[in-house]
Amino acid sequence: MEKSVKTKYAKVAAVATAAVVSLVISGCSPSSGGSPGDETAPTELIYGLQQSPVGGFDPGNWAYTTYAPIEQAAYETLLHANTDGGFDPALATEWGWESPELFTLSLREGATFTDGEVFDAEAVKTNLEHYKVAQGRSAAQLQPIESVEVVGEYEIAIHLAEPQPDMPLILSQNMGMMISPAAIASPDQLLTEPVGAGPYILDAARSVTDDTYTFTKNPHYWNADAIEFDTMVFKIFSDGQAAFNALQSGQVDLTFGTSENLEAATGTGLSIDEAPGTLVNIQIVDMAGDEVPALGDVRVRQALNYAIDRDAIVESLQPGRATPQVWHSAGEAYDPSLEDYYPYDPEEAKRLLKEAGYEDGFTFKMNNHPLMQTVAQAIAGYLADVGVTLEIIVQPTVAEFVSDGIAGTYPTILAPNVSQSASIDIQNLLLPDGGKNSRGSEDPEITRLYDVAASMSPEDRASEYHKIAQIVLDDAWFVGIAQATSYTFYNGDEVEGLQTPVGHIIPMIYGLGPVN
């Protein structure tokens, strides 16, 4: 009986969402980006996004996140992630480990940057040294680099002070995007335009910052024959609903989908790509209890975990897999034996709160992602049942949410975290200098286990990562909710070739093309 009562919070929010969805369904169908039957007509893809690049066009300021399609259009990486969980050649043609502290790459000859500069080993060295001291939160991934050695004109050796097992993954994302060395030397140029070796070139005359970014095909791209769209336009929307409305009315061809609009997308004939997606969780930013003393008590954090009915939220609001863990189910840190670690038990939550001296409850604020409003409301309902008051900070845009998240403005944050690699997740979330650990919370044992695992083989290090996963649950660093299902909605009559690598939440642009 208790279970059915608690499910109401998820269901009430779901009903409200359904009502909103019903209001936006229209009879319009997405329009074509080209002329049917004319194989020589220029082709254009219009991509709806909810966030523009942070800090201009220097990948050192970026994360590899929801605006990744713009990143991929502007810049080429050293490696490409593929759908098999491995990597394909890009600006690097061969790569591998000589030892746990030495990673080498052979580079593609003949590639050039859009300013005419030649791509070579010196360019890679300049880029990696630039990224290591960059201001973006991805820079921590390159901190193990001790030096970058130019072995030959197209041969590079990366020497590490300590192992970084996910170097191939890192070099397939924004830290592997190659900028013209001349642009790195003139950083003001990167505030307004990218200067890379990517498949597209920004058309500044047809672009408006934070609104529309128009890219035209780069004829000098090393793999230009594989790029099918002549033009890619990225339109930035304030929220997911606005992007979905634009897709329905034919203003865009493809956009990141949400569970709230899944029924409407199906009903209007849109194509849907889905994959295991983000990890939805409440991150306890104020682990020390400096701002909210209650959050500094592990019993309180554990109580929050017991208070929430994950299964009900997944069933009614957030399609996916209910879990208290914060790791991708295909990752090395994920431990299936821990899935039931925090069952829904409000009485246990009340007991722990009383034991910690908070029988009368307490109040805390939560920075909330714009796409997580209904989930946040459900969470607030469950917490209210055990006497805890949650103040939801409603962020109007993803950009404002991210800005406050990086700054650690609020004591907790509800976020859909992208999880691609146990090593990078641990580094970002749990190490004191992690890009997503804004207040520098630290557990020396987690750091020790991470260092031990970093020098082990992939087969062996999973056991060390499982120990970290256990500590994270014991100490309740997070209130895990679910691994969501990730959706991409698109006009399947006009667009094909969607490819979503393992761990990615949206398709890469490289395989996209018009339907023939």
Domain residue limits at 66:
51-236
What phi and psi values does residue 434 have, to the nearest 5 degrees? -65, 145
- In-domain check, residue 515: no
Tokens at 105, concatenated? 């790459």
3-state secondary structure 310-327: HHHHHHHCCCEEECCCCC
The answer on 217 and 114 residing in a single domain is yes
Q: Which of 212, 236, 260 is the last residue of a domain?
A: 236
Strands, sheet with 92-99, edge to edge from the N-terminal-most edge strand:
92-99, 102-107, 155-160, 145-152
For residue 337, with 0-12 CB atoms within 10 Å meaning exposed, 13-18 middle and 19 or more buried, which class applies? Answer: exposed
Give the pLDDT confidence of 230-258 residue by residue, as tens digits.
Answer: 999 999 998 889 999 999 999 999 999 88
Structural contact between residues 266 and 80, judged by C-beta atoms closer than 8 angstroms: no
Cα separation of the two ends of the chain = 55
Q: Indicate if 110 and 220 belong to the same structural domain.
A: yes
7 and 113 share a domain?
no
> Does residue 366 sit in the same domain as residue 420?
yes
Tokens of 458: 């992939």
CA distances (Å), origin 497, targets 6, 36, 219, 227, 514: 42, 18, 21, 11, 8
- 362 located within any domain: yes
Q: Answer yes or no: is 153 within a domain.
A: yes
Considering the domain architecture, whether residues 202 and 346 belong to the same structural domain is answered as no
In a domain, 247, yes or no: no
Q: Does one domain contain both 121 and 164?
A: yes
Q: Distance between CA 368 and CA 373 in Å, rounded?
A: 7
Is residue 221 domain-shared with residue 288, that is, in the same domain? no
Domain count, the chain: 2
**Are residues 177 and 231 located together in one domain of the fold?**
yes
In a domain, 243, yes or no: no
Domain boundary among 186, 210, 236: 236
One domain for residues 117 and 188: yes
Residue 385 CA, chain-centre distance (Å), reads: 32
Examine the fold and report which residue of 220, 236, 252 is the final residue of a domain before the chain moves on. 236
What CATH number has the domain bearing residue 309? Answer: 3.10.105.10
Residue 27 φ/ψ, nearest 5 degrees = -85, 0
Assess if residue 118 is contained within a domain: yes
> Do 125 and 213 lie in a common domain?
yes
Q: Is residue 40 part of a domain?
A: no
Cα(495)–Cα(33) distance, rounded to whole angstroms?
9
Same domain, 137 and 281: no
Structure tokens at 171: 């070099």
| pLDDT tens, residue order, the chain (516 aa) | 333 333 445 544 444 433 333 333 333 333 344 444 445 567 999 999 988 888 899 999 988 878 899 999 999 999 999 988 899 999 999 999 999 899 999 999 999 999 999 999 999 999 999 999 998 888 888 999 999 999 999 999 999 998 898 999 999 999 999 999 999 999 999 999 999 999 999 999 999 999 999 999 999 999 999 999 999 999 999 888 999 999 999 999 999 988 889 999 999 999 999 888 889 999 999 999 999 999 999 999 999 999 999 999 999 888 899 999 999 888 889 999 999 999 999 999 999 999 999 999 999 999 998 888 999 999 999 999 999 999 999 988 888 898 899 899 999 999 888 877 888 899 889 999 888 999 999 999 999 999 999 888 877 899 999 999 999 999 999 999 999 888 999 999 999 999 988 767 778 999 999 997
- Indicate if 80 and 164 belong to the same structural domain: yes
The 3-state secondary structure of 194-231 reads CCECCCEEECHHHCECCCEEEEEECCCCCCHHHCCCCE
Does 461 reside within a domain? yes
DSSP 59: G
Among the residues of 81-192, which ranges form H helices?
121-132, 167-170, 181-185
**CATH number of the domain that 63 lies in?**
3.40.190.10
